[in-house]
Amino acid sequence: MNDRVAPNLISAVDEARHWVRLMEMAELGAIPGPTPEDPGVNRACLTPLDRAARRKLIAWGAEIGLTASVDAMGNLFLRHEGTDPAAAPVLTGSHMDTQPNGGRFDGIWGVLAGLEAVQAIRAAGIATKRPIEIVAWTNEEGGRFAPGCMGSMAWSGFAPPETWDNVTDPDGMTFRAALEEHLAAEADIPRRPLGGRPHAYVEGHIEQGPRLEAEGLDIGIVTGIQGSRWFVVELTGKSDHAGTTPLLLRQDAVQDMVRAINALNILTQDPRDVLRFTVGRIEVSPNTSNSVAERVRFTIDLRHPEKEVLLARGDAITGVVQAAVRGCKVAVTERFHAMPTTFQPEVPAAIERAAAAQGLKAARMPSGAFHDAQFLVPVCPTGMIFVPCRKGVSHHPAEFARPEHLAAGTRVLAAALVDLANG
Ligand code: HGY
Ligand code: MN
Ligand code: MN
């Protein structure tokens, strides 16, 4: 199918323009990194920084004739019209929010690759039967409001939009209040209904793993995404004086947390090192050095490519914690439940054709990170394009991808979009 793609499409993808836009976006929420050459980004969802980045994207889209719209979850869309406006669009994009200690490429590359690909398609004078829409999903990271992927979960019908109304950020603001504030600030942008039936979805993303770089590959043709489950464990004990209370009389929530995590480390042992178990956030109260901790809340991020393992180990968490603690009350809440997904063959095949036609070294591979794409699978044929990132580092300011790799990924995306839009 790709041999119909105009050869000037590839040359119309402008590596320098694409890199400049990425670096401009990285200034919105820039934070110091390990070296001056590696600044990071902290741009949480539904913040003024997030809105400044969206306005910049909308302006770049308007310059090339794309029309913007926003849905009730704040998902942002830029539309390139097709010769058949009534045809189901091909969707591409990713997310613009970052981790609090994030990098310059996670998420935002996929959105800007979509913009660059569509700009190249238009510059090359290629008419697409189907419209192409670039999407920026709301709150993929789950850093400010947990869990992640709220925008794509609500859009795809995986969960109702009001599911997370009362989730609060560290400052106590609810997701619903932040979303209403956000939508009010973007009241001038046309609204669109939540949901849709696109023809296909393609997401560009940095690999966030070491394989492509280690094997000298240009493109990852993603075959699917491993499953993820997020839990919050709350241990409630009793606060006491650190100097006068005998250890035997204490209900120390921190000591019970240590017992619980030690027991969970045994539960999640995996000699093949495939299972991923992470405790990334711990809240202690009253959080003073000379009072015994009354309450601890800690998060669990559990991942595995096999549904059976994810269910068995995840369902055992509550019992393991209860057996491990000494005296604290235990409450375990599951906050995110995304089973392993495999992409349908059509989109990976289009990506493979595009990479082969451009003589790029590509391999099929699964994704260890979760992405909005996993919630698109039940809605339409879905796929992802990975590009290498340095040493596989991500969710850190040292995250880096080379301009030539990003341009190659964008060229594959552009060709795949034309293939899917005219196929
Ligand atoms: O956590 C993840 O897998 C994604 O990068 N947000
Ligand atoms: Mn991401
Ligand atoms: Mn991420």
Report CA(394)–ligand 1 centroid distance (Å): 9
Residue 4 above 70 pLDDT?
A: no
Q: Is residue 149 part of a domain?
A: yes
Ligand in closest contact with the CA of 396: 3
Q: DSSP alpha helices (H): ranges in 239-337? A: 253-267, 307-315, 317-324
Read off the pLDDT band of 1 (50, 70, 90): very low
Q: Is residue 113 part of a domain?
A: yes
The H or E element spanning position 92 is strand 90-95
Please give the Cα distance from 150 to 145 (Å, whole number).
9
For residue range 277-298, what is the model confidence (pLDDT) as tens digits?
999 999 999 999 999 999 999 9
Longest Cα–Cα distance of the chain, Å, equals 80
Taking CA atoms only, the protein residue closest to ligand 1 atom 3 is 369
Shortest-distance atom of ligand 1 to CA 141: 6
For residue range 170-180, what is the model confidence (pLDDT) as tens digits?
999 999 999 99
Whether residues 79 and 196 share a domain: the answer is: yes
Taking CA atoms only, the protein residue closest to ligand 1 atom 6 is 141
Q: Residue 6's pLDDT is what? A: 66
Residue in 144, 203, 208 to alter for ligand 1 test, most ligand atoms within 8 A of Cβ: 208
Read off the pLDDT band of 2 (50, 70, 90): very low
Whether residues 124 and 170 share a domain: the answer is: yes
Please give the Cα distance from 15 to 112 (Å, whole number).
12
Q: Residue 5's pLDDT is what? A: 52
For residue range 45-77, what is the model confidence (pLDDT) as tens digits?
999 999 999 999 999 999 999 999 999 999 999
Ligand 1 close to Cβ of residue 148 (< 6 A): yes
Report CA(141)–ligand 3 centroid distance (Å): 5
Tell me the backbone φ, ψ of residue 268, rounded to 5 degrees. Answer: -105, 15
pTM, two decimals, is 0.96
Ligand 1 close to Cβ of residue 370 (< 6 A): yes
| Domains contained in the chain, number | 2
Whether residues 90 and 170 share a domain: the answer is: yes
Whether residues 272 and 305 share a domain: the answer is: yes
- Domain end call among 295, 317, 338: 338
Q: Is residue 293 part of a domain?
A: yes
For residue range 301-328, what is the model confidence (pLDDT) as tens digits?
999 999 999 999 999 999 999 999 999 9
Question: What is the span of the domain harbouring residue 109?
Answer: 9-226+340-421
Q: Residue 235's pLDDT is what? A: 98
- Domain end call among 286, 309, 338: 338
Q: Is residue 306 part of a domain?
A: yes
Ligand 1 close to Cβ of residue 396 (< 6 A): no
Shortest-distance atom of ligand 1 to CA 228: 3
Rg of the chain on CA atoms, in Å: 23
Closest CA to 112 of 25, 43, 47, 194: 25
